[in-house]
Amino acid sequence: MLNLAGVPFAIEKMGGNIYNPDGHFEDMTAMRMHDEFLSEAGTNWKYHDECEISHDTSISDKIKSYSDCRDRLDGPLWLMKDPRATLFLDDWQSALGGNGKFVLLYRHWGLCIQSLLKRHSQYLAHDLPTGRAMAEHIAFWQYPELAARMWLAYNKAMIKFIRANQEKCLVVSQASLLQGSDLIAAINNKFGGQLKPLIASPVHPQYASKSVDAVVLKGLSAQLQSELDITYKQLAQLCDTDNAEDFPKIIENPRDEKTFSLVLARIKSSRGLNNKEDKDASSPPFVHLYKDYQKLPFDELLLKLQELKPLDNKDTSKKALSLALRLIELAPFKIAGHEWLGKIYAALGEYKNAEIHFVKAISIGGAPPYMRMLLADTFFARYEFKTAEYFYLLAFKGNDKNPQFSIKLGDLYFILKEYEKSISNYEVALVLNDNERVKEKLINVVEEYKGTEAALVLSAANLIVNNSTELQTKQLSLKLKLRTNDARNSYRKMVKESISREKVSKFLECLAYADLPSSQLQQLTYWLSQNLLSVFSANEVASYFMEQQGDSPSSPRLSVIVISYNMARELPRTITSLLPPYQENISESDVEVIVVDNGSSRLPLLSDFPKNKNLRIIKNQQSGVSPVSAINLGLSVAKGNLVGVLIDGARMASPGLYKHVLKANRLSPRTVISTLGFHLGPEVQMTSVPSGYNQAIEDDLLKAIDWCNNGYRLFEISALAGSSANGYFQPIAESNALFMDKALWQELGGYDERFITPGGGFVNLDTYRRACELPDIELAVLLNEGTFHQVHGGVATNLKREDATPKIFSDEYKEIRKKPFSVPNKVPLFLGSYIFEAQPFLSYSIEQQKPNRQLVDVHKNRFNRILLNNSYCNQFETAVDVSDDVLTSPIIITGRGGSGTRLLSQLVQSLDLFLGNDINETKDSIEWVAPIYDLITNRVSLKNKTFKQHHIDRLQANAKNILLQRSFSSGLWGFKLPETMLCLPELLKAFPNAKIIHLVRHPISISLRRSHMTSRINNPVGRTVLSDGYQLLHLDEGTIENRGEYFNNAVSWNYQLKNALDFFENNLSSSNFLQLKYEDMVNDAEEVLSSMCDFLALPKQALPELAIDAQRFNQRHEPSKEVDEIWSICGEVANLLGYTKQNVSEL
């Protein structure tokens, strides 16, 4: 506020950073001076009355030198702000001759403590520092009363000074400023000043807390809290502004228990591993140094002095003084002795003594130019800036190739506000040495001279040349200060990019040395968790903090989660069955298996699975009798977009499981994929085990069938599980290998953690049922694939225990869902291959159908939904055939989704054009979804030479199958699917005589509608389109998820339309290509219908009644930031179509 009112506040301003982008408005020079005072007393800024602070005349003398410098630089009116000054108020008043005016701000102790804990835990959570950097922040948890004792020490010193100097003090509560008190008016009234009033207050109340988290009070004794309250009330009584006493609310903030427990357990685990080795290299021994070294010759003594690093801290400097003096005694006319003694004096703040020895070094003759720089530093430290400038220039003249001299001059001119000279010198230094720290200095000067926006432009230009972490951090702090739209997301991105599991491990290892008591460890964990969750999702935190063995590909197609509990015998077989080469038609890089151990007496080790790659083993820190938390932990760290869960690690899989899961996932954008369950042995194990079936018999059975070489032989020694007892074609109660896209798992919320009975009770049944009830999902049941349960004494199948009865499970389910469990009755799609070894189960399943159910007429019952062979499309047996001329001549109706292709499809169908047997509500030809999506998501194309003859055969077979269902042999046929936009060259290759009807719509109108699947990152097709679209525009793919819907809609439109128009122009003529506008179709549908009739050589038709949403069509879009962004992306392509940015409001 005072600075905005025209009062200069610093010799050397403390700049902003990513944690405080606006800056502290403190003077680095004053701050260093106060730190020096505190250091002399044996303390630092964390002073809490633990020692006496000296107030001898040397302190007021140094303050007087600072004050004189400020008078020279800024005139008689200036301010100094540094919280440390609170401890030296009497010294300041003495230095100022009793003429100082003091504005003293106070804040409730709870808010101050909370601010310190938040700030320092943010550093810890987001930077993950180690060593001394960590020690600076961890102290507040090592000493739980530290922050409170600091508040008392500072504020008691302030109260004492106020009482003695009331006329010289204006006491202000922070609460009053937040509630609008006019500080400038209060200062003018109190001190008779003439500061100019502020037009607007710079205070941002939203950035200040009005409540205190109850956790702040933990660790503070009742006696200490009472002392804090008394002191706060004393401040309030001395306050000169309104709202003097404003006690904040104490609230219990909810915490994410899962993240809290995970982080706490990992910290405790790291403490257990800590072997308490040396934390830091100890300081060099100084015992009897003089005695040991006094007989050394000059050169050896000089070497010893250098090894001691006497400039690192003041204690070392003091002890090294005698050695430097000995050097001069041995060789009074050698430069080195005087240089070292001058450096040591400077390190101790004795600048006059330092000056003497640097002058002596220079006077000896032959001193290098940097000696003049060292001499200049002594004048700089004493605020004699003109003398410092003289010697810096001499140093530069002596060697203009040393960048350090130019940097020193740049620093000096910055303080003197000679900004052009400062910039010039920094630029010279950068030519000599491209240094990131100098670039940051240059940016700081530009910000002070030309403003924050100019500094941001400069930082962006530097990032183009060198994308360093330092420059990224500087640019981010500028963005945060300007509060740009992308600032917060940029901050999160920077923190996320800096973290790694290795960095977390080193942080935790260092944290173990702090050896915090249990209560303080919990408090630290609370604050760490809060700050981690401000940037990372709970799943991301889990992925970095969990204990893990092994690793897997960064982007597998498939993640499979397996829950383990005391399965040393069974788990190796399960893992073998879940990875290549056992799993067919999938590469090692396509799959990861995540074993989450739920509290085994012996944690599985990677060495237990020496032949298996891409395996991660994770320990569930929240293990219990229910596996639910283990499953959700696995879901949280899965890398693949398609994720499967095996709740029981004793289940072996059939060899084609993944192959068919990946096929099934292409059936729709929202597919839930389930498998049937089997038990090894002659019957279900609940029956076979009491009859004598055991692990030894099972081992012999498995050995006899050589399952590793033919896993389908598992069917020969198995029985259907109880949940699948009615066979393939009846509803199943659960799936013991359940697969969905990660987005669907998130939508489902994972497994419900309210299921706490042994084995999770009915949680697997509950999860399957809830998955089947998700909106708009396609349920796919795999045939002749499955999982096979090994006997192991588990809860649900084998072991009788009183706390795991069917009634207990059923009662738990009813308590949670408020109704009894029932099997979901979702009508599925069936997908599989004919497997000889599974023939008995197929036959049994068919026999289980109702007696009157006929599966003979494939046309009526659409038996092609049960795919029992490896071809994509079953061919119908019929006497009618389709000629090649008809087959290769479809009418393809296309247009980017949302363009109005539904209306176009209505018009087309009025022309008696056959678009398929299965048309959905949006008039899409559903029978083309799977083959088209398959081409897109797998990037099968002519361009990258992956579109081969078998893909042509597949598309043609699909077309023939559709036509044969209709007994179609002549006439016009085609299909409508917006996503055909993405594979037009391939469709023309398969159907060389096709005609294309292409519908377009204004990009602004379409982008500001709801999103389409081709612009959704959580859709396989959308992921493909957005990835390519961002690359086309040279945009960062990492920002896709952070962009608005309208932005991704625009990227999708631009990518699809640009590629389509290029293709049309180069490959099609007017005889086989017709382009229409949505706006024309709505304004004059009759004319559009007429043009289609001409294009298709059909007689004119009567216009059908069209279902036009007039409100949507007539929607106008006024100028806005969003409109500008959309047009910047789409404008070039839109102009080719005759659209302008303006005519969107005329639609």
Q: pLDDT digits over 916-928, tens only? A: 988 887 888 888 9
Q: Which position has the token pair 């109702």?
A: 850
Per-residue pLDDT for 874 more than 80? no
Specify the residue for token string 């377009």.
Answer: 1000
Mean pLDDT to the nearest integer, 422-448: 92
Give tens-digit pLDDT for 685-713: 888 888 788 999 899 999 999 999 999 99
- Phi, psi (5° rounding) for residue 493? -65, -40
Residue 863 has pLDDT above 50, yes or no: no
Region 434-455: mean pLDDT is 90
Residue 852 has pLDDT above 70, yes or no: no
Is pLDDT of 66 > 50? yes
**Domain end call among 367, 395, 416:** 367
> Do 1081 and 957 share a structural domain?
yes
End-to-end, the C-alpha distance of the chain in Å comes to 50
User: Which range (84-93, 287-296, 1023-1032, 1062-1071) has the least confidence?
Assistant: 287-296
Q: What is the pLDDT of residues 146-195, one digit of tens each?
A: 999 999 999 999 999 999 999 999 999 988 888 888 889 999 999 988 88
973 DSSP 8-state letter: B
- Pairing type for strands 778-789 and 651-653 reads antiparallel
384: CB partners within 8 A, 6+ apart: none
What is the token pair recorded at 558?
A: 């498939």
Higher pLDDT, 703 or 880: 703
- Residues 797, 946, single domain; the answer is no
pLDDT tens digits for 649-682? Answer: 999 999 999 999 999 999 999 999 999 999 999 8
How far apart, in whole angstroms, are the C-alpha atoms of residue 992 and residue 942? 14
Is pLDDT at 861 greater than 50 in this prediction?
no
The pLDDT value given to residue 223: 95
Residue 1016: CATH number of its domain: 3.40.50.300
Q: Is 1072 inside any structural domain?
A: yes
Lookup: tokens for 166:
């009331």
Please indicate, yes or no, whether residues 684 and 821 belong to a single structural domain of this protein: yes
pLDDT for 279 equals 39
The helix/strand/coil state of 617 is: strand
Based on the fold, state whether residues 819 and 891 are members of the same structural domain: no
Residue pLDDT, tens place only, 745-763: 999 999 999 999 999 999 9
β-strand pairing of 615-619 with 591-597:
parallel
The arithmetic mean of pLDDT across residues 332-339, rounded, is 93
The H or E element spanning position 1077 is strand 1073-1077
Q: For the chain, what is the domain count?
A: 4
CATH number of 304's domain = 1.25.40
Tokens of 556: 């597998």
**Lowest mean pLDDT segment, chosen from 354-358, 398-402, 848-852, 1009-1013:** 848-852
Asked if the model's pLDDT at residue 313 lies above 70, the reply is: yes
**Averaged over 962-983, what is the pLDDT?**
88
- Dmax (CA) for the chain in angstroms is 116
**Same domain (yes/no): 788, 901:** no
The pLDDT, as a whole number, for residue 280 is 40
pLDDT(973) > 70: yes
Each residue's pLDDT tens digit, 905-958: 888 888 888 999 888 878 888 889 878 887 887 788 888 778 888 888 889 988
3-class SS at 891? strand
Q: Are residues 629 and 705 in the same domain?
A: yes
236 lies in some domain: no
Flag whether 856 is in a domain. no
Identify residue 489 by its one-letter amino acid code.
N
The pLDDT value given to residue 180: 82
CA-CA distances (angstroms) from residue 951 to 180, 954, 989?
A: 71, 5, 10
Range of the domain at 1060: 884-1146
Residue 843 CA to residue 1036 CA, distance in Å, equals 54
Mean pLDDT (whole number) for 344-355? 93
Query: Dihedral, CA atoms, 1053, 1055, 1058, 1064, nearest 10 degrees?
Result: -90
Predicted pLDDT of residue 465: 66
| Distance of alpha carbon 790 from alpha carbon 576, whole angstroms | 14
Which of 367, 401, 425 finishes a domain? 367
Q: Which residue has the higher pLDDT, 471 or 1027?
A: 1027
- Rounded mean pLDDT, 254-280: 69
Residues 806 and 906 in one domain: no
Residue 455 lies in a domain: no
CA angle (633 as vertex; 632, 638 as ends), nearest 5 = 95
Give the C-alpha separation, 905 to 977, whole Å.
10
- Give the residue with greater pLDDT, 785 vs 1083: 785
Strands (E), 750-865: 778-789, 829-832
Which letter, b or e, does each residue of 69-90 get, where b requires 16 or more Cβ atoms within 10 Å of its Cβ? bbeebbeeebbbbbebbbbbbb
- Percent of the chain scoring above 90 in pLDDT: 55
Domain C-terminal end among 352, 367, 382: 367
For the chain, how many helices (H) and strands (E)? 48, 20
Q: Which residues contact 375 (CB under 8 A, 6 or more apart)?
A: 355, 358, 359, 362, 391
Separation of alpha carbons 542 and 529, rounded Å: 11
The SS3 call for residue 672 is: strand
What pairs with residue 677 in β-bridges? Answer: 787
Q: What is the pLDDT of residue 31?
A: 94
The model's pLDDT over 555-612, given as tens digits with 9 standing for 90+, comes to 899 999 999 999 999 999 999 999 999 999 999 999 999 999 999 999 999 989 988 8
Answer yes or no: do 81 and 26 share one domain.
yes
The whole-chain average pLDDT of the chain stands at 87
Residue type at 994 in one-letter notation = A
CA distance 1083 to 903: 13
789-823 confidence digits (pLDDT tens): 999 876 545 456 677 788 999 999 999 999 999 99
pLDDT at residue 25 greater than cutoff 90: no
Q: Distance between alpha carbon 283 and the CA centroid of its chain, in Å?
A: 40
Looking at the fold, whether 564 and 701 belong to one and the same domain comes out as yes
pLDDT tens, residue by residue, 209-265: 788 999 999 889 999 999 999 999 999 999 998 766 678 888 888 788 878 888 888
The amino acid that residue 55 corresponds to is H
Say if residue 806 is in the same domain as residue 893.
Answer: no
Give the CATH number for residue 821: 3.90.550.10
Dihedral of alpha carbons 750, 754, 755, 757, sign = positive
| 841 and 891 share one domain | no
Which pLDDT tens digit goes with each residue over 602-632?
999 998 998 888 899 998 877 789 999 899 9
In a domain, 126, yes or no: no
**For residue range 67-100, what is the model confidence (pLDDT) as tens digits?**
999 999 999 999 999 999 999 999 999 999 999 9
In a domain, 281, yes or no: no
Within-domain flag for 734:
yes
Give the lowest-confidence range in 114-128, 839-853, 870-884, 1081-1095: 870-884
3-state secondary structure of 900: coil
Dist. CA 844–CA 730, nearest whole Å: 12
Say if residue 650 is in the same domain as residue 773: yes
CB–CB of 785/656 below 8 Å?
yes
Q: Is position 235 within any domain?
A: no
